[in-house]
């Protein structure tokens, strides 16, 4: 699995294209009329879909969006223009990050798949455009592997207890999962995130 992640930048270099598929939610930026890909710092804009309406819909039900996007970044700010968006079920969900509490994380995929969950701070996420894996990679070069194993069913739950590190209270962590099916098909889940809490 480690070799798979190391190969992602090489694959990206060979798959340069105008349009990319991303899967995730649409988050509003507080105090503005702007939007970003939830659990990242990647700005989303659109002239063809109503990002405000999509954001409101996803708050009412547990869905993500499969979006076709074009990279229109300016300077150091990553900006993706959303051309289309289709609701899809959430594939990966983090549990809360609370001190002294074991929380449940959830993953959906093909039974028998190998999985590896990677984690980074939300502020360190980035956009690695890929095609052919159902999603792009948002975890950034400093991401670290947190969990791995084999799915014994199409729905997996595992538990994690946040270490008591007071300096991390309020820090938001993002996670994304790589899945390799029994037939060696690699897919990348939606990102999810939680802020560290001391209660």
Give pLDDT tens digits for 149-163.
Answer: 999 999 999 999 999
Domains located in the chain, CATH noted: 2-14+90-197 (2.20.130.20), 19-89 (2.40.50)
Note the pTM of the prediction, 2 decimals: 0.87
DSSP per-residue letters across 114-179: EEEEEEEEGGG---B--SSSSS-B-S-TT-EEEEEEE-SSSEEEEEEEB---GGGTT-EEEEEEEE
Residue 140 contacts residue 193 (beta carbons within 8 Å): no
Backbone φ, ψ for residue 166 (5° rounding): -55, -30
Write down the residue that tokens 């970003």 correspond to.
36
Give pLDDT tens digits for 69-114.
Answer: 999 998 889 999 999 999 999 999 999 999 999 999 999 999 999 9
Over 80: is that where the pLDDT of 16 sits?
A: no
pLDDT band at 61 (very low <50, low <70, confident <90, very high): confident
The three-class DSSP label of residue 63 is strand
DSSP 50: -
């Amino acid at each position: 699995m480690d070799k798979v992640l190391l190969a992602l930048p090489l694959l990206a270099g060979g798959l340069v294209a105008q349009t990319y598929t991303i899967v995730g939610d649409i988050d509003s930026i507080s105090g503005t009329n702007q939007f970003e890909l939830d659990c990242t710092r990647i700005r989303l804009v659109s002239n063809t879909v109503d990002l405000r309406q999509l954001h409101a819909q996803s708050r009412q039900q547990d869905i993500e969006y499969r979006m076709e996007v074009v990279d229109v970044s300016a300077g150091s700010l990553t900006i993706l223009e959303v051309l289309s968006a289709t609701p899809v079920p959430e594939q990966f969900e983090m549990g809360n990050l609370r001190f002294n509490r074991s929380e449940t994380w959830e993953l959906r995929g093909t039974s028998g798949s190998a999985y590896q969950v990677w984690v980074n701070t939300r502020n360190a996420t980035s956009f690695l455009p890929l095609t052919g894996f159902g999603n792009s990679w948002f975890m950034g070069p400093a991401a670290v592997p947190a969990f791995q194993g084999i799915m014994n069913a199409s729905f997996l739950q595992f538990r994690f207890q946040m270490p008591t590190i007071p300096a991390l209270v309020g820090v938001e962590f993002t996670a994304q999962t790589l899945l390799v099916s029994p037939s060696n098909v690699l897919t990348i889940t939606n990102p999810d995130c939680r802020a560290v809490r001391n209660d």
